[in-house]
Amino acid sequence: MSQIPQTLTHWLIDAQRKAGGDSVMLQLLDDIATACKMISHEIAQGAMLGNLGKAGSENVQGEEQKQLDVIANDIFLAVNAQAGHYPAMASEELEDVYVVDGAAEGKYLLLFDPLDGSSNIDVNVSVGSIFSILRLPEGADPSQAAAFLQTGVQQVAAGYALYGPSTMLVISVGQGVHGFTLDRNTGLFYLTHPDMSIPADTKEFAINASRARFWEAPVKRYVDECLAGKTGPRGRDFNMRWIASMVAEVHRILTRGGLFMYPMDAENQAKGGKLRLMYEANPMSFLVEQAGGAASTGRQRIMDVAPTGLHQRISVILGSKNEVERVASYHAE
């Protein structure tokens, strides 16, 4: 009899048993998995359900929403509110905290980006969902943004769903990083990528080269050295990638190593950067560090940054440890 891979539910039971942790975490992550299955279905059906194209609205960031941005956000809110463990949630698509009716006794907070890389939807390129789970601080009011403004090191779990050729859920509860693939026949996530690890060295980096004219000198130096290849100071050739979906970029790094950069530059400096600390940078940094990588703004560890707002933006440089440290050293110089 062939061995059946471990399901997400059974893996979570084992993880809880080993850690002696809160059994509620199983329910939290199971609900997130359910939401991601539903979003995966909506994306896969796409044009057939009339889900593609613009929604005719903007989110709190002033960005034009796709129909699937709105659908994914509604699914995340509805599914994760049902068990009553979150008295409140925060979404990249919403300006304020979303208070969950009847969940006043909940002890956790959920932050999420319901659909990362949505500019790729209409051209059928990989997109994803990102989430971060925090404990509700003792005595804090969950209806206020202040309850959510915790550093990345305070996360108790984080992860993402990747909607690509297959749908994957990649998570960490502080015990490494593990990837689960959705079997559409059974509707179950199975453990297919245990103990994902990022090699310390790499010959691959990802950055939006169209912004080169705005880059700070340390970033430009790093990229120029990589592009110089074997004849340059690095003495080897590098490959450059760009998918315009952070989930897809980070998944590639967790699978085979690499460096992802969306740094603060002259054009976005007034905002602090491009990516959102609470919905993108912190959860991805948690995963990357759990897999042996590093995550920095170029000037400090991302997960040590004290947040000042729900939609705070930040510089992001993460991936293979030695390359992250090299870019940080250029900033220090």
Which residue ranges make up the annotated binding site for Mg(2+)? 92, 113, 115-116, 280
- Closest CA relative to residue 194, chosen from 176, 217, 207, 210: 176
DSSP symbol at 309: S
Structure tokens at 133: 């789970």
Long-range contacts (CB closer than 8 Å, 24 or more residues apart) made by 194-197? 196/170, 196/254, 196/255, 196/291, 197/291, 197/292
C-alpha distances in Å from residue 234, one per residue of 296, 328, 329: 21, 16, 15
Q: How far apart are CA 201 and CA 87, in angstroms?
A: 42
Instruction: Please report the DSSP string for 205-254 in residue order.
Output: EE--GGGGGG--HHHHHHHHHHHTGGGSTT-S--EEE--S-HHHHHHHHH
Q: Which residue has the tokens 């080993």?
A: 18
- Closest CA relative to residue 104, chosen from 155, 149, 140: 140
- Sheet-wide strand order for 178-183: 98-99, 88-91, 108-116, 127-135, 157-163, 167-172, 178-183, 188-193
In three-state secondary structure terms, 180 is strand
Full 3-state SS string of 288-303:
HHHCCCEEECCCCEHH
Annotated binding site for substrate: 116-119, 208, 274
Annotated binding site: 92, 113, 115-119, 208, 274, 280
- Closest CA relative to residue 108, chosen from 15, 177, 31: 31
Contact 169, 163 (CB under 8 A): no
Beta strands per DSSP E along 70-225: 88-91, 98-99, 108-116, 127-135, 157-163, 167-172, 178-183, 188-193, 204-206
Compute φ and ψ for 282, nearest 5 degrees.
-65, -50
